[in-house]
Amino acid sequence: MNLSFLKAYALEKRIPIITDEALALIKEQIIKHHVKEVLEIGTAIGYSALAIASFGCHVDTFERDEFMIEEANKHFDRYDEHHQITLFPFDALTYVLPLKSYDLIFIDAAKSQYQTFFKKFTPYLKVGGLVICDNLNFHHLDPAKVNRHTQALLRKLEVFKRFLADQPDFQTDFFDLGDGTSLSVRIK
């Protein structure tokens, strides 16, 4: 599926979406690991979910923002021809219904909550499954040149990266592509 019109729309509306490089990494991993079931945290207008569905997967995706939910629903109604995407219009942090098990979890939502998302959703990941996190470098901002709120966020992302590297059940690699991407494989 050619989603370049949706990419252009996101750019025009200044809505952050996945970069081509990070999407290429996801596609490569989906093919390599025969991924079928994907959980995405952070739908926005549905660009990455539609792209991932086009690689042959089913995608459950969380979005909490009313405007984004409306936009995503509009795009899914139109382009998710084979009904491969289920939108959960909820805050992923407070959603309590049982989920199924996944081959891949893609975390692309509020950066300050990555560790919480990881802890909450990895119990639903199969052994051998993958967690991909985007935006871990936060534009390589210099902590000395940003406000306190952004400094706190940068610190949180550094803590999260250490947390990821230290997980005994996961083997994690970090890539300087997109805005900083991690790939964690659940090894046990």
Per DSSP bridges, beta strands 85-88 and 170-175 are unpaired
Exactly one of 108, 129, 153, 182 binds ligand SAM (CB under 6 A); which one? 108
Tell me how far, at minimum, the Cβ of 22 lies from ligand SAM, in Å: 8
Exactly one of 109, 125, 130, 153 binds ligand SAM (CB under 6 A); which one? 109
| Rounded Cα distance, 33 and 129, in Å | 8
First to last CA, the chain: 35
Tell me how far, at minimum, the Cβ of 101 lies from ligand SAM, in Å: 20
Is the Cα dihedral 72, 21, 139, 132 positive or negative? positive
The 32-61 contact track toward ligand SAM, x by CB under 6 A, reads ----------x-x--xx-------------
Size of the site for ligand SAM (CB under 6 A): 19
Exactly one of 16, 126, 156, 165 binds ligand SAM (CB under 6 A); which one? 16
DSSP 8-state assignment for residue 179: T
Is residue 62 within 8 A of residue 33, CB to CB? The reply is no
DSSP per-residue codes, 80-124: -TT--EEEE-S-TTT--S----EEEEEE-S-GGGHHHHHHHHGGG
Q: Is 102 in the site for ligand SAM (CB under 6 A)?
A: no
Q: Is 65 in the site for ligand SAM (CB under 6 A)?
A: yes
Q: Is 153 in the site for ligand SAM (CB under 6 A)?
A: no
Q: Is 92 in the site for ligand SAM (CB under 6 A)?
A: yes
Helix (H, G, I), strand (E, B) or coil at 139: helix
Name which of 62 and 170 has its Cβ closer to ligand SAM: 62
Q: Interface residues with ligand SAM (CB under 6 A)? A: 16-18, 42, 44, 47-48, 62-65, 68, 91-93, 108-110, 113
